[in-house]
């Protein structure tokens, strides 16, 4: 049986988070509010700040290989709604369909619940049906009509999951 696990990124994981994020930007550039060129140019101090000053990053491993990443953060514009946001969700093509996505999403839900959140939400690029299906399978429902992304071109849908 394939083995997968999730852990919160720590101080020794800056280069790993950077590597996985850059891989995600190459694999699915349409799905993120940044580009590979912009983030590849960031120095280590910027990466360290990104990782440790905005919520939590989680790293997923599958069969012993780092194969997924996600960021959970409390955004100021939704804080009054007790809603934490998921950003940068990515699972390597070799680990898709293995359950790693569910584990990453559950790590975010657990962290947000512990912090007192009532909801966790994310934006999914319209047309990324595989991701939308995975989110729906993990308790997320679409609550907002399509809109054009704030940080990139293309319509997005907002999906949320109610937490216990």
CB–CB of 140/160 below 8 Å? yes
CATH of domain 4-162: 3.40.630.30
Cα 126–Cα 119–Cα 136 angle in degrees, nearest 5: 40
End-to-end CA distance of the chain: 30
Block means of pLDDT (10 residues each) for the chain, 164 residues, are: 88 93 94 90 89 87 96 70 87 95 97 89 88 96 66 74 92
DSSP letters, 43-112, are: -HHHHHHHHHSSSEEEEEEETTEEEEEEEEE--GGGGGGTEEEEEEEEE-GGGTTTTHHHHHHHHHHHHH
Domains of the chain by residue range: 4-162
Counting every residue, how long is the chain?
164
> What per-residue confidence (pLDDT) applies to 57?
94
> What per-residue confidence (pLDDT) applies to 137?
97
Q: Whole-prediction pTM value?
A: 0.90
Strand arrangement of the beta sheet that strand 65-73 belongs to: 4-8, 56-62, 65-73, 83-91, 119-125, 155-162, 141-148
């Amino acid at each position: 049986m394939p083995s997968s696990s999730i852990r919160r990124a720590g101080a020794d994981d800056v280069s790993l988070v950077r590597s996985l994020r850059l891989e995600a930007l190459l694999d699915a550039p349409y799905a993120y509010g940044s580009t590979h060129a912009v983030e590849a140019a960031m120095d280590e101090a910027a990466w360290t700040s990104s990782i440790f000053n905005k919520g939590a990053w989680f790293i997923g491993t599958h069969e012993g290989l780092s194969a997924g990443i996600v960021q959970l953060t409390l955004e100021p514009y939704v804080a009054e709604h007790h809603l934490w946001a998921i950003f940068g969700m990515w699972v390597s093509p070799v680990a898709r369909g293995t359950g790693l996505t569910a584990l990453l999403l559950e790590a975010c839900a657990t962290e947000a619940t512990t912090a007192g959140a009532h909801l966790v939400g994310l934006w999914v690029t319209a047309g990324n049906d595989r991701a939308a299906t995975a989110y729906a399978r993990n308790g997320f429902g679409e609550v907002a009509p399509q809109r054009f992304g704030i940080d990139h071109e293309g319509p997005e849908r907002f999906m949320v999951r109610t937490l216990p």
